[in-house]
Amino acid sequence: MARLGELLVATKLLTPEQVEQALRAQVMWGGRLGTNLIELGFLDLDQLSQALGQLHRLPAALARHFDKADPAVQRKLSPEFAERYATVPLMRVASGKIVVASLGIVDARGIGIIADELETTAADLVVSVAAELRIRYHLERAYNIPRGARFLRSRGKSIPPFPAFVTEELDFEDSAVSTPMPLDQRTALAEMYSGALTAEADAGEPLSDADLIEQVDDSVPVVTDDSTTTKTEVPLHEPPTRPSSPALDLTLELLGEHDDLSIGQEPVDEKAQRDRRTYVRMITDQPSTESERRKLGRIAIRRVVVTTGPTQTLGEATRLIRRSTDRDKVAELVMITLEKFVHSLEAAVMLVLRGDVAIGWKGFCKAHSTLPEVAIPLEQPGLIPTSIQRGCTVRSTSTDLGPIDQLLLASLGATGEKELIVVPVMIAGQAMLTIALVAPVETEAQTVESIAIATGAAFSRLMRDASR
């Protein structure tokens, strides 16, 4: 169980079963553990922020603090550094110090850069912590940095509870998957895939938890509520008491100065809140404003750069998929294996099912350097909902496709007479992912189905391990 989960269980905010459900949802949906807890309705944003504050030994930035954020202060921090350090300035207080909210502890270099941009000193910069969903929302609101569809909800819909899997149902094929891979095979496979995986932490991306969170005394459980679900043995104990320090006490006092302002007692304008919401943009939607068109230009499916390598068998490649210990690596290896062993493919995309929407996650297109972000409504006719309902591969030529499938085909860069093939990824008898492919007519799908089976086995194991 992740350390954030241990604290929430120890403080009786959550049950172990709720944390396990969120950990499994994290494997499939991505995002941080806290994000999945929010989406499943187990916590609210302020409760999560307070828990993160206790674990990070930082004050929590709550809704009322963001409501009183000073736009003039926010404008001083460039969008580039706001995005890189996942940080939103909040306010300058009477003492002259500036309070910012971030995902966690910002390293010394980041503090120096942010302080310089805000025209203050590192000593006068006070870092507080907030939930991932809140940080992403305010980065979009203050800096026009768009959130991906992963962090949005369907219009009029809430994300439904994650399917409740029984542990025994998450058994997977290939009994040797947990045994060490022979050194010579591991070396060959490493060479095959070297340079193929995308770099996730370039200069323009937010830092990972490993970069944001400092190491502290092992006796204190510090959360890394990101997409990593590898099991870590940490004894369950009572949550730590945050040590008192002049800096921490001052920060709490600074934020406390704003708790009694009238904005917190004013009536909530529900219509204004609804107007500020951003929803998942379906493939059938068109941008209504120039601002929305610019945002869409910045959002793309994470493209996997495919390279060739030493000759390997399909069995070795699917075994590597099954053995992967990270959800992103599983998806990347799936794309690499598809391109390597199904030579006729022109494009492919893996979509994650969340409620009534299938959201594009990883993909490649031989004709284009990027793929646009896609979200497919599952309540309307199409190959993807049909494949999910039937639990089997479905396909159709471009001339016989319905409107939504035609849009998907065009999004994947298809030209001329092609075939759209959709293969479900089954986990414990349920379709949780799909792989959509563009290929010439009558391309065989058996290889793709073998890769989908390996993908289901990998995610079954990740989900099973996450709940241990």
pLDDT digits (tens, 9 = 90+) for 226-264: 333 333 333 333 333 434 444 444 445 555 554 433 223
CATH code, domain with 349: 3.30.450.40
Nearest one of 273, 297, 277, 293 to 285, comparing CA atoms: 293
- Kindly state whether residues 71 and 152 are assigned to the same domain: yes
How many whole angstroms separate alpha carbon 17 and alpha carbon 20? Answer: 5
CB count, 10 Å around CB of 451? Answer: 25
In this predicted structure, what is the pLDDT of residue 408?
Answer: 92
In this predicted structure, what is the pLDDT of residue 190?
Answer: 44
- Kindly state whether residues 272 and 347 are assigned to the same domain: no
In this predicted structure, what is the pLDDT of residue 341?
Answer: 93
Does 391 score more than 90 pLDDT?
A: yes
pLDDT bracket for residue 155 (50, 70, 90): low
Residues 6+ apart with CB under 8 A from 130: 45, 49, 52, 60, 61, 62, 66, 88, 101, 102, 103
How many whole angstroms separate alpha carbon 264 and alpha carbon 262? Answer: 5
- Kindly state whether residues 131 and 14 are assigned to the same domain: yes
CA angle 350, 160, 458 (to 5 degrees): 40
Mean pLDDT of 120-129: 94
How many whole angstroms separate alpha carbon 205 and alpha carbon 134? Answer: 17
pLDDT bracket for residue 197 (50, 70, 90): very low
Domain end: 216, 245, 276, which one? Answer: 276
In this predicted structure, what is the pLDDT of residue 168?
Answer: 57
- Kindly state whether residues 431 and 329 are assigned to the same domain: yes
pLDDT bracket for residue 285 (50, 70, 90): low
Q: Report percent pLDDT > 90 for the chain.
A: 50
Domain end: 211, 244, 276, which one? Answer: 276
CB count, 10 Å around CB of 346? Answer: 19
DSSP of 45-80, one letter per residue? HHHHHHHHHHHHTSPBP-HHHHHT--HHHHHHS-HH
Place of tokens 């994470």: 302
Look at residue 287 and tell me if it is in a domain.
Answer: no
- Kindly state whether residues 460 and 334 are assigned to the same domain: yes
- Kindly state whether residues 193 and 73 are assigned to the same domain: no
Does 207 score more than 70 pLDDT?
A: no
Mean pLDDT of 44-55: 93
How many whole angstroms separate alpha carbon 81 and alpha carbon 303? Answer: 23
Look at residue 430 and tell me if it is in a domain.
Answer: yes
- Kindly state whether residues 11 and 143 are assigned to the same domain: yes
In this predicted structure, what is the pLDDT of residue 281?
Answer: 56
Nearest one of 378, 296, 20 to 164, comparing CA atoms: 20
In this predicted structure, what is the pLDDT of residue 218?
Answer: 31
State both tokens at 305: 């750069």
How many whole angstroms separate alpha carbon 92 and alpha carbon 77? Answer: 13
Look at residue 314 and tell me if it is in a domain.
Answer: yes
Domain end: 245, 276, 307, which one? Answer: 276
pLDDT bracket for residue 278 (50, 70, 90): low
Range of the domain at 323: 175-197+299-466
Averaged pLDDT of the chain: 75
Mean pLDDT of 322-335: 93
Phi, psi dihedrals of residue 98, rounded to the nearest 5°: -115, 130
Look at residue 282 and tell me if it is in a domain.
Answer: no
Place of tokens 């990027």: 370
State both tokens at 106: 């910002």
- Kindly state whether residues 132 and 111 are assigned to the same domain: yes
Does 273 score more than 70 pLDDT?
A: no
Residue 398 or 193, more confident: 398
State both tokens at 177: 């998957």
Mean pLDDT of 171-187: 43
How many whole angstroms separate alpha carbon 297 and alpha carbon 274? Answer: 24
Look at residue 291 and tell me if it is in a domain.
Answer: no
Does 27 score more than 80 pLDDT?
A: yes
Look at residue 26 and tell me if it is in a domain.
Answer: yes
pLDDT bracket for residue 316 (50, 70, 90): very high
- Kindly state whether residues 266 and 310 are assigned to the same domain: no
Look at residue 168 and tell me if it is in a domain.
Answer: no
Task: Evaluate if pTM is beyond 0.75.
Answer: no
- Kindly state whether residues 153 and 269 are assigned to the same domain: yes
- Kindly state whether residues 251 and 321 are assigned to the same domain: no
159-173, 211-225, 238-252, 298-312, range with the lowest pLDDT: 211-225
Look at residue 292 and tell me if it is in a domain.
Answer: no
In this predicted structure, what is the pLDDT of residue 246?
Answer: 41
- Kindly state whether residues 190 and 306 are assigned to the same domain: yes
Mean pLDDT of 4-27: 92
Does 71 score more than 90 pLDDT?
A: yes
54-68, 117-131, 190-204, 372-386, range with the lowest pLDDT: 190-204
In this predicted structure, what is the pLDDT of residue 198?
Answer: 35
In this predicted structure, what is the pLDDT of residue 368?
Answer: 75
Residue 147 or 451, more confident: 451
Provide the 3-class DSSP secondary structure of residue 226.
coil
pLDDT bracket for residue 107 (50, 70, 90): very high
Does 353 score more than 80 pLDDT?
A: yes
Amino acid at 429: G
Residue 364 or 276, more confident: 364
13-17, 276-280, 397-401, 463-467, range with the lowest pLDDT: 276-280
Whole-angstrom CA distances from 15 to 6, 11, 23, 56 are 10, 10, 13, 22
How many domains in the chain?
2
